Amino acid sequence: MTTLDIKSMKGREAITVLTCYDYSTARILEEMGIDIILVGDSLGNVVLGYESTKDVTVNDIVRHTGAVRRGAVSSFVVSDMPYSSDSSKELAVRNANLLVDGGADAVKVEGKPEICKYLVQSGMAVMGHIGHLPQTAEKPSIHKDFEKLLKEAEMLQAAGCFAIVMEMVDRDVARKITDFLDIPTIGIGAGPYCDGQVLVINDILGMYEDFKPKFVKQYAHVNDEIRKAVKAYKKDVRSGSFPGL
């Protein structure tokens, strides 16, 4: 999978994207043919236990990118540029290089078309992000301003982004923007008309119980299975049936 492959899927085949933060899960995602694996800064909440993604560092993303790459050796891996890691052009390039050296094929930037353009000119593959921007937004809300969002999307496309995430964008607005752009859109809470979809894997597996966005579909209840397994293990150790004689 390359950026050209991803762009060629627009209007032809829906693009599947899932977040991932570890080796074992990455192996499964590669086996199942997920198109793009995103090492998202959501790892701050669902893996590291931070209250905010703002606490995630470049080193955090680098370490988890390496784990994902070792598990998914041939998948297309995109790594988030964490909060304040792209506050200047020079800093953005330095940190993006760290992520690429750590195993990423591309980086994702929230907003900031000028930063995106500079990264692309520096040889990076960049995924854009419009709508709700978790790193800087005060609270989640549905974005409906078509003209504003279209302008932002067109600027990111002109900057050289190969795809754009649209988060919490009104579904009809997302459809219009998707139709306008030449590059794929990846929706999260943006309705069914995007060129692809992305979700946090811990959410779809039922492994993150602190908060569940309304747009998430839960495909499994893994935490319940973990509780059953731990309960059975504890019982066996206390009773002496494990490890046995």
Angle made by CA atoms 94, 97, 98, in degrees to the nearest 5 = 90
**Cα of 134 vs its chain's centroid, Å:** 12
31 noted as active-site residue: no
Q: Strands 36-39 and 15-19, how do they pair?
A: parallel
**Cα of 12 vs its chain's centroid, Å:** 22
How many CA atoms, within 13 angstroms, populate the side-chain half-sphere of residue 192?
0
Residue 199: other Cβ atoms inside 10 A:
22
Q: What is the rounded end-to-end Cα distance, in angstroms, of the chain?
A: 51
Dist CA 238 CA 241 (whole Å):
8
Which residues are CB-neighbours of 40 under 8 A, at least 6 positions away? Answer: 19, 21, 80, 108, 200
The catalytic residue among 152, 154, 167, 225 is 167
Residue 68 is encoded by which pair of tokens? 């994902």
**Cβ contact 152:131 at 8 Å:** no
So which residues are the catalytic ones? 167
